[in-house]
Structure 1
Amino acid sequence: MSETERTKPKAAPNRVAQAQAQLRPTVVLVALFLVAAAVAGAVPHSTGSWLPLHLALAGALLVAISGVTQFLGVTWGAAPAPRSILVSFQRVLIAAGVVLVAIGREVPIDALTGLGGTLVLAGLVLLIVILVGIGRSAIQRRLRPAIVAYVTGAGLGAVGVTLGAVLGSGGGGGYYGQLRDVHATINLLGLSGLVIAGTLPFFVATQAKTKPSPRATQQAQFGVQATMATGLTLAVIGSLGEWPVVTTVGLATYALTLLVLASLLPDLGAKQFRWAGPRLIQAGASIAWWVGAVALAAVHAANGHPPFSGAVIPALALGAYVQLLVASLSYLGPVLVGGGHRRLTANFALTRSWVGLIAGNVAAIAAVAGLGSPLYVGAIAAWTLDGAVRAGLLIASRVRPAPTPAA
């Protein structure tokens, strides 16, 4: 054995199994938040479209970001898994905070909303601490762009959540409108957007069972992230100063940079689509919705309207982020169930859902037209039922014998 081989760092033993065990409760919690969002979108309540969007974005998406960023950091970076008690505590802080904010807004009790926002903020701070630890101990340095995006996104989320807690507790005064736009910009394009941008070049390759694109160099990924952050900053400055031109330039910059991000994804062919099918198409559709929603926000700003008004947030929430979340879970679900190569292959086939793909996009189109329509309720019901049935079959497969090869 050479001196280089003896001194080369080794991956932590059992790290993948530990990371999978930590992610499983997170996936269950994400599914519960998605179901709650679907129900809230169909039944009467006092906060209108805010509640289902809050449960989908601050609930399902933020909980998923918390768990998946840690999981990917450990598995892709060959880092030791963080302590389970920290992971569990961080997950509880986010989930409990989201629920308290929802109750506080519905009742309404401003103090409860403020407490919930404080818990979510504490959960984001703890997430940053965990991610920094993973980044420092990671052996695979190619993961650096993702870790930087995750930590930056969580940091921006802490700012956005603080603003949300202030606004939801009755604060903001004469600057309420500007701060509301800043809150939406930071959370939707900073927290969610940067984390997704840091993940896509690696995760699409994983989904498609292919190598990351040679175009997705560290320099290119950092450049995309920096340009997105620049566009985000301009949009925030424009909203605070009520300068529509600055806001428009920032959002347009962000939207154009998303096209560059798409160019860093791996080239996909018939083999990849035969393997992943609807999962890959749903991921691609979510990116198209993402670009379109941000471009529409830029148009709103150019016309002197609040950028995240009208169809923008439903398009981002359902068309972009929830669709991408579902596509990601349809890959992670079989991985977390495990059970050997044959069961894994069978479960990957199980989660290739054309029903979910069609229902998800119909739901997004209907949401843009207005939450609560019969088309929206029907599409959400079909999407939820399809996901619930497939999730049940996945869970049941853990106790069934593994499929035997054909004779």
Structure 2
Amino acid sequence: MKAHHWSTAALLGTAFLFLAVLFSQTAVVRAVPPTPTPTPTPATSPTVPVLCSPGVYPADYAVDCAPWGPSAYLSHMAALGYTYPPQPLPAHPLPSSWDSLPGKWHYAQVLRDGGRTLYPSLKDAAAGTRGRQLPPGFVYVSYYRTASYQGKLFYLVDEEGWWMRKNDLWAVAPSKFRGVILGRTPSHPFGWVLQPLKTKQTPGYTHEDYTHHRLNRYDIVQVYDTREANGMKWYMIAPNEWIPQRLLALVFPRQSPPEDVSGERWIEVNLFEQTLAAYEHGRMVFATLVSTGRPPFWTRPGVFHIYKKLPSTRMRGAFAADRSDYYQLDDVPWTMYYDESRALHGAYWHDYFGYRTSHGCVNLTIADAHWLYEWAHIGDMVYVWDPSGKTPLEGGGGGP
């Protein structure tokens, strides 16, 4: 039985012997260095850059990413001047208070198929006696008040007391279109829509890709790009929105005066675009639509100076030998003569601004003519030009 019992000393000796063998084997294992694993050689290929986050990246701006996709589109639009969100035109409409006239009168057209008689009193007007005739032609009168006499309505058309029958006149309301006051010179061309339209996704008429964006006459837009299509210019007014040149009247801002123009103030009339811009200290301060001379009564190009200002004046005359084109326009407001009988003035008898329709003068709405009249000085330069070069430099008309 004693053979099966171990003494404490024997047990401890056996344990120490086991640990010694174990540690000696571990040391041997650790003494053998591990076999190094070879580093794989990557295949030769171009480095693929990281795509830039959407944003504007100018061409001369160093970036460590690829400005592709949305960034490329945004950068392209920014180069054209269109940023997100779109920047508004630095302008505001001329206030309606500028619609005022120099006097307390209204306007009426003398009907061509009616009587053209003026009477010295209401009694004479009612009886049809002691009248004097207005010449036939394109005639408008200013009237100061109306009066009823013996059941009929009459208009006082002269401060000296001359009356006309209501049935011989047609009261007119002048155009309410107004130009814009600018806080600074815009960086892009801008202008007004001339006819109601829908924009197109692409320039030209090859594709029927009209958008649902409708624009009305006198809406103002900015232009960011120009393309040729179907033999005409097309203007981009927003991403994927194009308008043909013939339906826009544009102002092209200048950063410096044109040749032959000196001084700090000048008025520019663009005969091709039918627009006007006023500059002061090298900055555009006002812009609007005009209506200049139609052939053969074109408005003469050149550099001129304002030499006379009249709050209102009567304009009358004829060009044809038989006076068949006679015109008489009472109290033409805010008139500034700059080239012989040609003038900048308000036009109350039409609403064709943006189109040639005058006898040689530069027509403006009453509000625009009023603002320009108050702003301009005698001696200010008027620069009239036609970018197309089609307007003759001599001759032309000299009437409203």
Give the number of the structure whose alpha-carbon radius of gyration is greater: 2
Query: TM-score of the superposition, structure 1-length normalised?
Result: 0.22
Which structure dedicates a bigger proportion of its chain to strand? 2
Higher relative contact order (CA 8 A, sep 6+): 2
Which structure dedicates a bigger proportion of its chain to helix? 1
Query: TM-score of the superposition, structure 2-length normalised?
Result: 0.22
